[in-house]
Amino acid sequence: MDDSLVELALSDAQERMAKAAHHAREEFATVRTGRATPALVEKIPVEYYGSEVSLQQVAGFSVPEARLLVISPFDKAALAAIEKALLGSDLGITPSNDGQVIRLAFPSLTEERRKELVKVVKHKAEEARVAVRNVRRAARHELESMEREGDISSDELERAERQLEKMTHDHIEEIDRVLAVKEQELLEV
């Protein structure tokens, strides 16, 4: 009985830490490097027939060149709404519309802008690390209350806390690894 409680608490913590790391990866994908990628725009909300949907639900994407993103709406009537959403986003790129598709030409990043983006990415990584640590703290409280209530022994608590610590370390390491890759990508000219 008590082993299953510990396993349940640890697997829940594992799942929540993995989600935090996954979220960090998704956040990093939205930070623009010198290349065009659909991840930069696919989550932008578009006002479509009175409801707000993400851009990926109303359009397809292609990258014919490294610095060009072509957005093809599934419904040509959504073209103006997509263009308006892109202009309202924080991309800082003016879309060009030919009546059929929208083109986004990504200019190369200046050295100053690259350094700003590295700071943004580092901030997002720190938020992810904090989220992982918060999960660890919550799981530790849960385990300690199990011990206080007599559901698990102090040895089992110690073993579970070691597993929890390793889990936390692994997820923070993964976030740092992804951060290093993104940093290198941003600083590459």
Residues recorded for the chain: 189
* pLDDT at residue 34, rounded to an integer: 67
Shared domain check, 114 and 99: no
pLDDT for res 1: 44
Listed residues 105, 125, 140: the one ending a domain = 105
Domain boundary among 105, 124, 146: 105
* 122, 169: one domain: yes
pLDDT the model gives residue 141: 94
Of 52, 70, 105, the residue that ends a domain is 105
Based on the fold, state whether residues 26 and 42 are members of the same structural domain. Answer: no
Asked if 67 and 118 sit in the same domain, the reply is no
Contacts of 164 (CB under 8 A, 6+ apart): 10, 13, 136, 139, 140, 143
Give 10-residue mean pLDDT values along the chain (189 residues).
79 94 88 76 87 91 88 90 86 84 84 86 94 96 91 90 95 95 83
Domain check: are 24 and 116 in the same one?
A: yes
Residue 7 and residue 100 share a domain: no
Q: Are residues 48 and 25 in the same domain?
A: no
The verdict on 120 and 175 lying in the same domain is yes
> What is the gyration radius of the CA atoms in the chain, in angstroms?
22
* Longest CA span, the chain: 70
Decide: 58 and 74 in contact? Cβ < 8 Å. Answer: yes
Residue 85: count of CB within 10 angstroms of its CB: 22
- Same domain for 80 and 143: no
What is the domain extent for residue 70?
38-105
- Amino acid 106: pLDDT: 80
Q: What is the pTM of this model?
A: 0.70
d(CA 12, CA 8): 6
Could you tell me if 122 and 179 lie in one domain? yes
Do 92 and 114 belong together in one domain?
A: no
Sign of CA dihedral 179, 180, 183, 184: negative
Domain count within the chain: 2
Same domain? For 118 and 181 the reply is: yes
